[in-house]
Amino acid sequence: MAKMKWFRLYSEMLHDRKLARVSRREQIPKTTLLGIWVSLLCIANDSPIRGTLMIGEDLPMTMPEIADELEISESDLSNIWNTLIAVGMIEFHDECFCIASWDKRQFKSDSSNERVKRYREKQSDNDVTLPKRYSNALDTDTDTDTDKKLMAAPAAEFAEILQLWQETFPKKPQPRADNKTLQAKLKTRMRSSHFQENWRASLVKAGQSKFLHESTFFDLGWFLKNDEHYEKCLNGNYSDQQSDNGSKPGRKPQHETQHFAGRM
């Protein structure tokens, strides 16, 4: 199988709390750490087994080899490495270092080979032969996993939003993983490509608002209720900056706040 020449990179990493902790603990600039982390993602993407740090299918990379690839000293890497493991960003399985949650962030459907294979299997089931003149073009011009997201809220996406919610709002009510109502809301929101691309940044920005941390109306159900709500968070409507009249931008009227509070 041909190597993937690209991988998903999320802008929310700029505000990732785990990376921020590593940066503070090791006293290195966040930009330097981001460069190291993105380099590790590149290595993992080019690995014979995506998501792992290997130079061959049965040959894991050693620390000196990783340090050499990153062009930093092994002693400098050692401290950073131990902290990355401590915060759960690097894991060790089957005698090999791995990027944690790689499969949750990267999708098998990103590979055009997988999409073409599924298409041809479907055509075979319907006794329809794929015309040669179409080659791979019938499937490769579609968005990677968009169709899958339109059918149902992927378990990985739902687990990811629950995890980010817990990390961002630890004092807020924490929904259960089997919450069908929230799953249905996420399924609806996933029909929007804008939501797919921006919900993480929106939730991170909401986490920067003291007002939302203290407000009783704001919970994950409210965030997923409609497009307007997450877009308000994304646009900074609930930032802690005071408006000219001294009120909070985007503050809910008292009756609306009580309305949401009564539904919790």
In order along its 264 residues, the chain shows pLDDT tens digits of 456 678 888 888 888 999 999 999 999 999 999 999 999 999 999 888 888 999 887 899 999 999 999 999 999 899 899 999 999 999 988 889 999 988 887 876 555 455 445 545 655 655 444 444 444 444 444 444 444 444 445 677 888 899 899 999 999 989 988 888 998 889 889 888 899 889 999 999 999 999 999 988 999 999 999 999 999 999 989 887 644 444 445 444 444 444 444 444
**Residue pair 21/91 in contact by the 8 Å Cβ criterion:** no
* Architecture category of domain 11-105 in CATH: Orthogonal Bundle (1.10)
> Residue 58 in 3-state DSSP?
coil
pLDDT digits (tens, 9 = 90+) for 195-210: 988 999 999 999 999 9
Specify the pLDDT at position 13: 87
Specify the pLDDT at position 31: 92
pLDDT digits (tens, 9 = 90+) for 66-90: 999 999 999 989 989 999 999 999 9
Nearest 5°: phi and psi at 70? Answer: -85, -10
**Residue pair 76/66 in contact by the 8 Å Cβ criterion:** no
DSSP states along 103-141? HHHS-GGGSHHHHHHHHHHHHHHTT-PPPGGGTTHHHHT
Q: In Å, how far are 99, 112, 168 from 60, measured between CA atoms?
A: 13, 27, 34
The residues spanned by each domain of the chain are 11-105, 149-263
Element housing 91 (H / E): strand 90-93
